[in-house]
Amino acid sequence: MSCSGESMQDGEAAILLQGLRRLEQLGISKPVVGESLSSWSYRINLQINGPIFDHPKYVSDARRIEQSDAPDSSGIRFVDPDGVASNDWVDNCVQTLGIPRQWFECQFPFFERPYTPLRYRRAFCYQCLAQNMQATGLPAWKSDWRHLAQPMCSVHAVPLLDAPVSFALTLDHPARAFTWYWDSLHAKEHHERICNAWPLRNAFAFDVQRRIDDLREKATDHVERAQIDGFILSLMRAVMMPCLHYAFPKVVFSDWGGPNVYRRDAFYLNFYQEIYRATSIARVGALYLSGLLLGWVTEEEGISTSSEELFTPDRAWVIWRLMEKHFNLLTLLGDELRRYESRSLNISMLADIPRCWRPT
Amino acid sequence: MKYVFAWYWRPAFRVHLPGEYANYAMIVCLQVNGVTGEILSYSITFGDRITNVHRIPFVKHDSGELFAKTNALRMDYKKHLFRLETDSLRNSLGPVRFSRTDFNGDFERRWLRIFYDWQRHELEQVADPYNIMLGTLKQTLECAIRRMNSETLTQAL
Q: Which residues contact A293 (CB under 8 A, 6 or more apart)?
A: A235, A239, A316, A319, A320, A350, A351
Q: Which residues contact A187 (CB under 8 A, 6 or more apart)?
A: A161, A180, A181
Q: Which of A58, A66, A227, A269 to mutate to test the interface with B (most CBs of B within 10 A)?
A: A269
A171 CA to centre of own chain = 19
Contact (Cβ atoms closer than 8 angstroms) between residue A52 and residue A93: yes
CA distance B155 to chain A (A): 14
Q: Of A209, A284, A293, which is closest to residue A252 (Cα–Cα)?
A: A284
What CA–CA distances, in Å, run from A152 to A63, A93, A118, A147, A197?
29, 33, 19, 10, 14
CA distance B132 to chain A (A): 8
pTM over 0.90, yes/no: no
Q: Determine whether the interchain pair B135/A68 forms a contact, defined as Cβ–Cβ distance below 8 Å.
A: yes
**Quick check: helix, strand or coil at residue B41?**
strand
The residue of chain A nearest to residue B112, with distances taken between CA atoms, is A268
pLDDT 10s digits, A229-269:
999 999 999 999 999 999 998 888 888 876 666 677 789 98
Q: Determine whether the interchain pair A269/B116 forms a contact, defined as Cβ–Cβ distance below 8 Å.
A: yes
Q: Which residues contact A349 (CB under 8 A, 6 or more apart)?
A: A294, A295
Q: Determine whether the interchain pair B119/A258 forms a contact, defined as Cβ–Cβ distance below 8 Å.
A: no
Contact (Cβ atoms closer than 8 angstroms) between residue B104 and residue B8: no
Nearest to A268 among B116, B123, B139 (CB): B116
Residue B53's pLDDT is what?
A: 41
Check if A229 contacts B (Cβ < 8 Å): no
Cβ burial, residue A52 (10 Å; 0-12/13-18/19+) = middle
Q: Rounded CA gap, A296 and A240, in Å?
A: 18
DSSP A261: P
Residues of A in contact with B116 (CB under 8 A): 268-269, 271-273
pLDDT 10s digits, A49-98:
655 555 444 443 444 444 433 344 444 456 678 888 877 778 878 887 88
Q: ipTM for the complex?
A: 0.76
Pairing relationship of beta strands B26-33 and B4-9 according to DSSP bridges: antiparallel
Q: Rounded CA gap, A41 and A87, in Å?
A: 11
Residue A179's pLDDT is what?
A: 93
Q: Determine whether the interchain pair B109/A331 forms a contact, defined as Cβ–Cβ distance below 8 Å.
A: yes
Q: Of A203, A211, A235, A234, which is closest to residue A344 (Cα–Cα)?
A: A211
Q: Of A127, A116, A57, which is closest to residue A92 (Cα–Cα)?
A: A57
Q: What angle do CA A119, A120, A123 make, to 5 degrees?
A: 145
Per-residue buried b or exposed e for A264-296, using 16+ beta carbons within 10 Å of the residue's own CB: eebbbbbbbbbbbbbbbbbbbbbbbbbbbbbeb
Q: Rounded CA gap, A288 and A208, in Å?
A: 7
The residue of chain A nearest to residue B137, with distances taken between CA atoms, is A67
CA distance B39 to chain A (A): 16
Residues of B at the A interface, defined by Cβ within 8 angstroms: 12-13, 85-87, 109, 112-113, 115-120, 122-131, 133-136, 138-139, 142-143, 146
CB atoms within 10 A of CB A161: 27
Residues of B in contact with A75 (CB under 8 A): 139
| Amino acid present at A159 | P
The residue of chain B nearest to residue A260, with distances taken between CA atoms, is B130
The residue of chain B nearest to residue A257, with distances taken between CA atoms, is B128
Residue B22's pLDDT is what?
A: 72
The residue of chain B nearest to residue A237, with distances taken between CA atoms, is B117
Domain ranges across chain B: 4-48+84-156, 52-83
A267-277 vs A222-239: helix crossing angle, rounded to 10:
110
pLDDT 10s digits, B96-154:
555 555 557 788 888 998 898 876 555 556 667 777 888 888 888 888 899 899 999 99
Residues of A in contact with B113 (CB under 8 A): 268, 332, 335-336
Q: Determine whether the interchain pair B135/A118 forms a contact, defined as Cβ–Cβ distance below 8 Å.
A: no
B105-116 vs A267-277: helix crossing angle, rounded to 10:
20
Cβ burial, residue B72 (10 Å; 0-12/13-18/19+) = exposed
Q: Rounded CA gap, A179 and A124, in Å?
A: 13
Q: Determine whether the interchain pair A265/B134 forms a contact, defined as Cβ–Cβ distance below 8 Å.
A: no
Nearest to B113 among A80, A258, A335 (CB): A335
Q: Determine whether the interchain pair A67/B116 forms a contact, defined as Cβ–Cβ distance below 8 Å.
A: no
Q: Rounded CA gap, A230 and A228, in Å?
A: 5
DSSP per residue, B72-110: HHS--HHHH-----BT--BS-SS--SS-SS---HHHHHH
Domain ranges across chain A: 1-110, 114-360
Residues of B in contact with A121 (CB under 8 A): none
Q: Determine whether the interchain pair B135/A65 forms a contact, defined as Cβ–Cβ distance below 8 Å.
A: yes
pLDDT 10s digits, A180-217:
999 998 899 999 999 998 899 999 999 999 999 999 99
Half-sphere exposure of A164 (CA within 13 A, CB side): 13
The residue of chain A nearest to residue B16, with distances taken between CA atoms, is A63
Residues of A in contact with B150 (CB under 8 A): none
pLDDT 10s digits, A282-332:
999 999 999 999 999 999 998 898 888 778 888 999 999 999 999 889 999
Residues of A in contact with B128 (CB under 8 A): 63, 119, 258, 260
Check if A111 contacts B (Cβ < 8 Å): no
pLDDT 10s digits, A130-146:
999 998 888 999 999 99
Q: Rounded CA gap, A163 and A168, in Å?
A: 8
